[in-house]
Amino acid sequence: MTAADLVRHWDDQQAAYIAEREQRFAVMVDMLRQVAGDEPMTVLDLACGPGSLAARVLDAVPNSRVVAVDYDPVLLDLAAEYLAPYGDRVRIVDADLTGEWRGAVAEEGFAGAMSTTALHWLWPADLVRLFAEVAEVLRPGGVFLDGDHFRFDGRSPHIARWAADHDRRTQEEAFAAGAQTWDRWWGSLSERPGHAERVAERDRRFTGRVATPSTAIDFRLAALSQAGFAEVGTAWQLYDDYVTYAVRG
């Protein structure tokens, strides 16, 4: 199975867990296009996974370049192969967002930064620190976009229940249509050359990490403001799935 096949199946299984995922991507890409205008732009992709969002930006934004960062060796290997046709328009960086990732990236002045369905894995204290670091590597007027689930808490029991039911129905429909589950997709990688070694390294890096608490949208927006962004808000929402934006002053 080629890298393109694997990423296509990845997109299908992710869409089972994230309703209207392509619409969320479209909003993020459109905002980056507006920031870029007719000028070349370099975008920082944080926790890039196999490169789904990076590819959409590279396809849609002329003269764009993406620096794609992740810490999962399995996904980094897949991203490197999947994004290889873009040549020097993409650079893959192996770095831990809870560590000294800026040294590995070794660039600043980004017009945009983005992440999707990833930063909820970080502890709140790590998020606050990361947001401040992202603000520092953006150019003035640069934008940071984050598409993710921000779960409703005990203050919003009715919509929390409606959101959970919507998620359940979305998954049932997608799996009935043939989408792979999370576990099945990961199992499909087993025949890739060097996979066992990358899985062993993945286990070494992530074993022992404690599950993080979920954070609501108000925490995220407050953390972005605290990090020094001049304007923060919500660009898109479907139940507890959001695109947040933050603009550096």
Q: Which pLDDT does position 237 carry in this prediction?
A: 98
- At residue 190 the predicted structure's pLDDT band, cuts being 50, 70 and 90, is confident
Q: Please write the tens of the pLDDT for every residue from 127-151.
A: 999 999 999 999 999 999 999 999 9
Yes or no: say if 27 and 233 are a contact pair by the CB < 8 Å rule. no
- Each domain of the chain, given as residue ranges in start order, spans 3-247
Mean pLDDT along residues 154-166: 96
- What is the residue-averaged pLDDT of the chain? 96
Q: Which pLDDT does position 167 carry in this prediction?
A: 97
Yes or no: say if 241 and 160 are a contact pair by the CB < 8 Å rule. no
Report the alpha-carbon distance of residue 24 to residue 237 in Å, rounded: 8
Query: Distance of CA 92 to CAs 118, 157, 159, 191, Å?
Result: 17, 41, 39, 23
3 state DSSP class of 169:
helix
Q: Domain 3-247 belongs to what topology?
A: Rossmann fold (3.40.50)
Q: 214 versus 230: which is more confidently predicted? A: 230
Q: Which pLDDT does position 191 carry in this prediction?
A: 84
Q: Please write the tens of the pLDDT for every residue from 194-215.
A: 999 999 999 999 998 888 998 9
Q: Is the pLDDT of residue 165 over 90?
A: yes
